[in-house]
Amino acid sequence: MAKIEMKTPLVEMDGDEMTRVIWQMIKDILICPHVDLKSEYYDLGLVCRNDTDDQVTIDAAEATKKYGVAVKCATITPNAARMPEYNLKEMWKSPNGTIRAILDGTVFRAPILAKGINPYIPTWTKPITIARHAYGDVYKNTEMQVPAGSKCELVCTDAEGNETRQLIHSFDGDGVIQGMHNTDRSIASFARSCFNYALDTKQDLWFATKDTISKKYDHRFKDIFAEIFETEYKEKFDALGIEYFYTLIDDAVSRVVRSSGGYIWACKNYDGDVMSDMVATAYGSLGMMTSVLVSPDGAYEYEAAHGTVQRHYYKHLKGEKTSTNSVATIFAWSGALRKRGELDNLPDLCNYADMLEKATIDTIEDGVMTGDLFILSDLENKRKVDTEEFLQEIGKRLDALLG
Ligand code: NAP
Ligand code: MG
């Protein structure tokens, strides 16, 4: 059988540890037998980042801007322990942070559902996608401890040198203060990314903040979303029969728990950090969570939401068998290939991506799964397999589906 052709190369970002091992297996067992893979390869493994003074990460992000679609393997964000382990010149920054700073945009995280792996919340029968604003607020804050007797003020000096002052608090005991910011530009690009993603995936969009308490700051988010929706997106949403709605974060939380899923929940930076961990855990396993960064000018970077699964990698290095879940990394590939297929008008490539996902879910629903899912599954015929056998089982089903 002839392999499926591609037109434009996919930006491929390799990574570290166990996920790097899985990356190669996915290509060998699941992709290259069927697709004439065209990719522009960037090695974001820590060795290469160190050798290139991290230039490779910047090049990969620039290539993503140029071609529009990337797939990324999990990578190590170095800490003190990694300095001697990899003999690093510097404690390089998080590649995801570098890529996000260049592409801008919003991170969308969605769980992958399979029968027999049940969410802790039984009504959640469809995925809930969290859209997290990835700029500002408490992540770019300035904070201080202040002693008793301090009078603390917010001071803004405008371009003409005029000062506006507001009292924060006069302290009669010791305390703490914090300053944070966001920009209209970043909030607007967050809003557009969310509206575009809702149109792309034909799902309702929910957005919530604490605007009853934060009447200027959070209210600004609400107003920018509302204005952009009314002027640029309302007609398109109506045409697709999907909805945008804003509510208070407290109300959103209780609605989410009672919902059946199937929508996008846009969150401010901190809310998104915490709520995506909550949603991922409630759906079962980090190994079943996908993540895509969507830039305001329409570039897509797909990855798994988990890290490099370091503990499994050390076992692998000792020659022991591992049972690492590759589903999120497979779905990063299928998501990227499908998007490439849509942009280049290649229905065979889109179909391949659909079949790859179906083969993966079928494998789990047939009872063949990795250790993390084995613990969660209530299937009677379940069987725990190792990392490679899991991929081979998917491969068998994929071959059958593709004839
Ligand atoms: P992790 O790699 O996500 O793994 C934490 C634990 O979660 C694992 O030890 C494992 O539990 C379980 N787990 C995660 N993914 C799994 C999978 N696919 N299959 C089975 N079990 C899975 O996080 P970490 O160990 O804290 O971080 C390791 C490295 O990853 C760090 O260097 C960090 O910087 C990096 N990281 C990268 C990204 C990214 O590139 N997007 C994100 C997060 C972390 P058990 O050991 O109990 O089986
Ligand atoms: Mg978090």
Instruction: Give, for ligand 1, the residue of 23, 303, 306 to mutate: max count of ligand atoms closer than 8 Å to Cβ.
Output: 306
Nearest residue (by CA) to ligand 1, atom 13, is 309
**Cβ of 322 below 6 Å from ligand 1:** no
Long-range contacts of 63-67 (CB under 8 A, 24+ apart): 63/11, 64/11, 64/99, 64/103, 64/299, 64/301, 65/102, 65/103, 65/295, 65/297, 65/299, 67/8, 67/9, 67/10, 67/11, 67/40
Q: Which residues surround ligand 2, an ion (CB under 5 A)?
A: 273, 277
As given in the structure block, the two tokens for residue 286 are 């980090």
**Cβ of 64 below 6 Å from ligand 1:** no
Q: What domains appear along the chain, each with residue ranges and CATH number?
A: 1-111+290-403 (3.40.718.10), 118-141+181-283 (3.40.718.10), 142-179 (no CATH)
**Cβ of 109 below 6 Å from ligand 1:** no
- The per-residue pLDDT string of the chain (403 residues; one tens digit each, 9 = 90 and over) reads 789 999 999 999 999 999 999 999 999 999 999 999 999 999 999 999 999 999 999 999 999 999 999 999 999 999 999 999 999 999 999 999 899 888 888 999 999 999 999 888 989 999 999 999 988 898 888 999 999 999 999 999 999 999 999 999 999 999 999 999 999 999 999 999 999 999 989 999 999 999 999 999 999 999 999 999 999 999 999 999 999 999 999 999 999 999 999 999 999 999 998 898 889 889 888 899 999 999 888 899 999 989 999 999 999 999 999 999 999 999 999 999 999 999 999 999 999 999 999 999 999 999 999 999 999 899 999 999 999 999 999 999 999 999 8
Ligand 1 atom nearest to CA at 82: 32
Closest ligand to residue 270's CA: 2
Instruction: Give, for ligand 1, the residue of 308, 314, 320, 385 to mutate: max count of ligand atoms closer than 8 Å to Cβ.
Output: 308
Q: How far apart are CA 370 and CA 322, in angstroms?
A: 9
